Amino acid sequence: MSNPESSSPESELFALSEDHRAVREAVREIAVKEILPFAAECDEQERYPVEAEKALSASGFNAVHVPEEFGGAGADAVATVIVIEEVARVCASSSLIPAVNKLGSMPIILSGSAELKAKVLPSVAAGEATISYALSEREAGSDAAAMRTRAVADGDDWVLNGTKCWITNAGVSAWYTVMAVTDPDKKANGISAFVVHEDDPGFVVGTKERKLGIKGSPTREIHFENCRIPGDRIIGEPGTGFKTALATLDHTRPTIGAQAVGIAQGALDVSVDYVKQRKQFGKHLAEFQALQFMIADMAMSIEAARTLVYQAAAATERGDANKGFLASAAKCLASDTAMKVTVDAVQLLGGAGYTRDFPVERMMRDAKITQIYEGTNQVQRLVMARSLLR
């Protein structure tokens, strides 16, 4: 990315606070100076962005959402999505560090005991550990309630058996929030949430998936082979895990929307820079009206998605009644926007866009997952429709 400055002005409609603007400025500087230089390399080598983790942890942007009492910045939901957006603008894989830290820790923040919060959150806030989220299984993707991983009480402990898949940053994270069945007769109401540590006996990390995009962020299966954890590592009461999982997604789907907006903005920035410099038929590409219209449509869609993401984040912060609808709408609109904008960016750059000499092909590959994880966009539309028709 040759142009570190955004080609799109910040929307004033949402009226961000001065603190929010300061967060954006600080994160953007770190992203451009310390994350962008390694983005292509992390993608090419499919390696974890250790430079990004170091930079984000040193600046406190690795988990800004963690409450101050546990060593975090206590940032609100809007500040959190701004952090993720600005990192995703230069490297989608790196943006999953703050995004997944929020996803993995929100169940604890929402429903965990004071003791469990004190055990886990300080290490995440300090950057000493990251935390992943384990809900999906091979045979229970969108139908998460059909999971088979079991947790059985044994004295003062819990013993887990089963396999979780598509676990972002597995093998890097020290902590894992895991959903498991504790009472199969109660279906969704028989699912409980637990916190597992990488050192727990019987916890095994599987092989890394070979993916289309976000290659710098490892995705693996995790296995529980008579994995024994202390009894106080349950999150909330037995049987409340699925409700906690759904409540968590209301808070974290806007973060995926933010990631998508960041990817799209990065692609637009590169596109604007390119068409202003590249000449064809004796004119800069930026002088051709057809391409001007493409650029305008890209920017318009990004601004709409960004505003909805911020609105959804603010709604979860306030606990609005429509927060679930807005979270799904933001994730869905932003990810669809990111996919279209990045495809258009490749088209605008022509043959150059199809090569790895420019970042737009990586952005296009990275954008695709935002339409899939934390609920496919088909599921998001079901959630929205049910909310409207309830």
Domain for residue 283, yes or no? yes
Both 265 and 371 in one domain: the answer is yes
Residue 76 CA to its chain's centroid (Å): 16
Both 120 and 251 in one domain: the answer is no
Q: What three-state secondary structure class fits 220?
A: strand
Q: What three-state secondary structure class fits 206?
A: strand
Q: Which residue has the tokens 């994995």?
A: 227
Both 121 and 142 in one domain: the answer is no
Residue 2 has pLDDT above 70, yes or no: no
Q: Quick check: is 374 catalytic? A: yes
Both 315 and 379 in one domain: the answer is yes
Question: pLDDT > 90: what percent of the chain?
Answer: 94
At 34-72, the pLDDT tens digits run 999 999 999 999 999 999 999 999 999 999 999 999 999
Both 273 and 383 in one domain: the answer is yes
Choose the catalytic residue: 53, 86, 221, 374.
Answer: 374
Residue 10 has what pLDDT?
A: 41
Alpha-carbon distance 62 to 175, whole Å? 15
pTM for the predicted model, two decimal places: 0.95
Question: Taking the chain, what is the end-to-end CA distance rounded to the nearest angstrom?
Answer: 46
Residue 88 CA to its chain's centroid (Å): 9
Both 179 and 272 in one domain: the answer is no
Both 233 and 179 in one domain: the answer is yes
Q: Report the pLDDT averaged over residues 341-353.
A: 98
Domain for residue 318, yes or no? yes
At 120-177, the pLDDT tens digits run 999 999 999 999 999 999 999 888 889 999 999 999 999 999 999 999 999 999 999 9
Q: Which domain holds residue 104?
A: 18-125
Alpha-carbon distance 184 to 12, whole Å? 50
Give me the CATH number covering residue 92: 1.10.540.10
Cβ neighbours of residue 167 under 8 Å, at least 6 residues apart? Answer: 132, 133, 134, 136, 176, 219, 220, 221, 222
The tally of domains found in the chain comes to 3
* Single residue among 98, 125, 152 that ends a domain in this structure: 125
Both 70 and 37 in one domain: the answer is yes
Domain for residue 10, yes or no? no
At 374-383, the pLDDT tens digits run 999 999 999 9
Domain for residue 319, yes or no? yes
Compute the C-alpha angle 370/171/44, nearest 5°. Answer: 60
Q: Count other C-beta atoms under 10 Å from residue 138's C-beta.
A: 11
Both 175 and 98 in one domain: the answer is no
- The first and second tokens of residue 102, run together, are 């929020």
Question: pLDDT > 70: what percent of the chain?
Answer: 96
Give me the CATH number covering residue 251: 1.20.140.10
- Banded pLDDT at 14 (limits 50, 70, 90): low
Q: Report the pLDDT averaged over residues 330-353.
A: 98
Cβ neighbours of residue 93 under 8 Å, at least 6 residues apart? Answer: 39, 42, 43, 49, 52, 214, 215, 216, 217, 366
Domain for residue 3, yes or no? no
Domain for residue 141, yes or no? yes
